């Protein structure tokens, strides 16, 4: 029962927070977005002030009254300074590169200060991430990365970012929860395997596909001489025998285009995607062109960074549970 009540409270607080601080790419902290409350030392400090005040009243000691009022003034002034250490700070989501399941994604953030105002000891973190302490005094902005472990393929959207400070005396904690507009594409984890079969775009030639007039690797055939043909390729021996002048035609070999098929790998859904991911990385390091055929998805053979990213994205989002389609 208590756990159910906690879930209800957390759900209502999340909805309230979404209305008060909606998701955005860049945000500047102000009074609406900053919360402040006494820290644990600050709460004990308040208890101590109350005890001292009771003692001062009981003994009618003016020095005790003066000490209580002095410490109370320090507490009140620290409220303003702790709040000011976050107010006016601008946080921007910069970028995040795609990663594989099991790796840590680096999410780049940028902090910008307001004018020449200095900011000290600001702690920034996501749940499950490392905590980064930032001070802005020498420069107007700072860019840094926070790392989060990726556990599932598809689009990953991090939870709210926690930004907090206890500066200057640690009696109060000022903090905010920001929903930054980050989307991290997570590829399946590569799983080494042997391919049961490869489907090629051609058949019968393991060396590649012959492309006539595409190079000068190997002799291909003779063809009648045409004005403009290189004379160094002319077949003078046959011409000396009275035959028509011919030129030698050479050909290059294009690497074979391979198809990565759904049935080429075994296992459940995630295992098949991981094995196909492994072969995408393997073929990208070779000279072979490769394509992808999985149920409902077909990407024609190609090669290069753009093609690789398109194939890996298709694998990452295949039957992804977060996909609205």
Per-residue pLDDT of the chain (325 residues; tens, 9 = 90+): 567 787 788 788 888 887 888 888 899 998 889 999 999 999 999 999 999 999 999 888 889 899 999 999 999 999 999 999 999 999 999 988 999 999 999 999 999 988 888 899 999 998 888 889 999 887 788 898 999 999 999 999 988 899 999 998 999 999 999 988 888 999 999 988 876 555 554 434 444 443 444 444 555 566 776 776 666 666 666 666 667 777 766 655 545 678 888 888 888 999 999 999 999 998 888 877 889 999 999 999 988 889 999 999 999 999 877 653 3
Q: Is 64 helix (H, G, I), strand (E, B) or coil?
A: helix
- Whether 305 is covered by a domain: the verdict is no
- Whether 125 is covered by a domain: the verdict is yes
* CB proximity list for 54: less than 8 A, separation 6 or greater: none
Considering the domain architecture, whether residues 20 and 125 belong to the same structural domain is answered as: yes
Please give the model's pTM, rounded to 2 decimal places.
0.71
Q: Which helix (H) or strand (E) holds 260?
A: strand 257-261
Tally of domains within the chain: 2
- Whether 292 is covered by a domain: the verdict is no
CB 253 within 8 A of CB 207: yes
What is the phi/psi pair of residue 120, to 5°?
-125, 140
Considering the domain architecture, whether residues 222 and 183 belong to the same structural domain is answered as: no
- Whether 321 is covered by a domain: the verdict is no
Considering the domain architecture, whether residues 41 and 171 belong to the same structural domain is answered as: yes
- Whether 236 is covered by a domain: the verdict is yes
What pLDDT shows up at residue 256? 61
What pLDDT shows up at residue 309? 93
The whole domain housing 241 covers 209-254
- Whether 301 is covered by a domain: the verdict is no
Considering the domain architecture, whether residues 78 and 168 belong to the same structural domain is answered as: yes
What pLDDT shows up at residue 136? 87
Considering the domain architecture, whether residues 130 and 213 belong to the same structural domain is answered as: no
Considering the domain architecture, whether residues 89 and 169 belong to the same structural domain is answered as: yes
Considering the domain architecture, whether residues 222 and 100 belong to the same structural domain is answered as: no
Question: Cβ–Cβ contacts within 10 Å for residue 266, how many?
Answer: 10
- Whether 302 is covered by a domain: the verdict is no
What pLDDT shows up at residue 228? 63
What pLDDT shows up at residue 76? 93
């Amino acid at each position: 029962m208590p756990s159910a009540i906690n879930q209800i409270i957390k759900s209502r607080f999340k909805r309230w927070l979404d209305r008060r601080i909606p998701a955005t790419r860049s945000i500047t902290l102000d009074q609406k977005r900053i919360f402040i409350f006494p820290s644990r030392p600050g709460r004990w400090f308040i208890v101590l002030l109350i005890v001292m005040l009771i003692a001062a009243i009981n003994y009618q000691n003016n020095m005790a009254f003066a000490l209580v009022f002095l410490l109370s003034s320090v507490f009140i002034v620290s409220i303003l300074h702790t709040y000011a250490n976050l107010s006016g700070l601008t946080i921007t989501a910069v970028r995040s590169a795609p990663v594989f399941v099991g790796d840590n994604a680096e999410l780049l953030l940028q902090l910008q200060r307001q004018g020449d105002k200095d900011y000290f000891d600001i702690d920034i973190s996501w749940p499950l991430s490392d905590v980064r302490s930032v001070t802005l005094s020498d420069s107007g902005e700072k860019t840094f990365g926070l790392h989060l472990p990726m556990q599932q393929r598809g689009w990953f959207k991090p939870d709210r970012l926690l930004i907090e400070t206890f500066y200057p005396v640690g009696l109060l904690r000022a903090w905010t929860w920001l929903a930054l507009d980050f989307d991290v594409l997570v590829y399946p984890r590569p799983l080494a395997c042997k391919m049961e079969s490869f489907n090629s775009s051609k058949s019968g030639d393991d060396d590649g596909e012959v492309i006539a007039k595409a190079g000068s690797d190997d002799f291909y055939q003779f063809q009648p001489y045409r004005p403009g043909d290189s004379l160094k390729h002319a077949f003078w021996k046959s011409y000396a025998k009275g035959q028509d002048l011919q030129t030698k035609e050479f050909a290059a070999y294009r690497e074979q285009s391979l198809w990565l098929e759904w049935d080429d790998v075994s296992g459940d859904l995630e295992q098949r995607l991981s094995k196909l991911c492994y072969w995408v990385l393997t073929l990208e390091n070779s000279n072979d062109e490769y394509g992808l055929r999985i149920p409902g998805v077909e990407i024609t053979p190609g090669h290069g960074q753009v093609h690789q990213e398109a194939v890996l994205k298709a694998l990452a989002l295949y039957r992804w549970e977060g996909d609205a389609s």
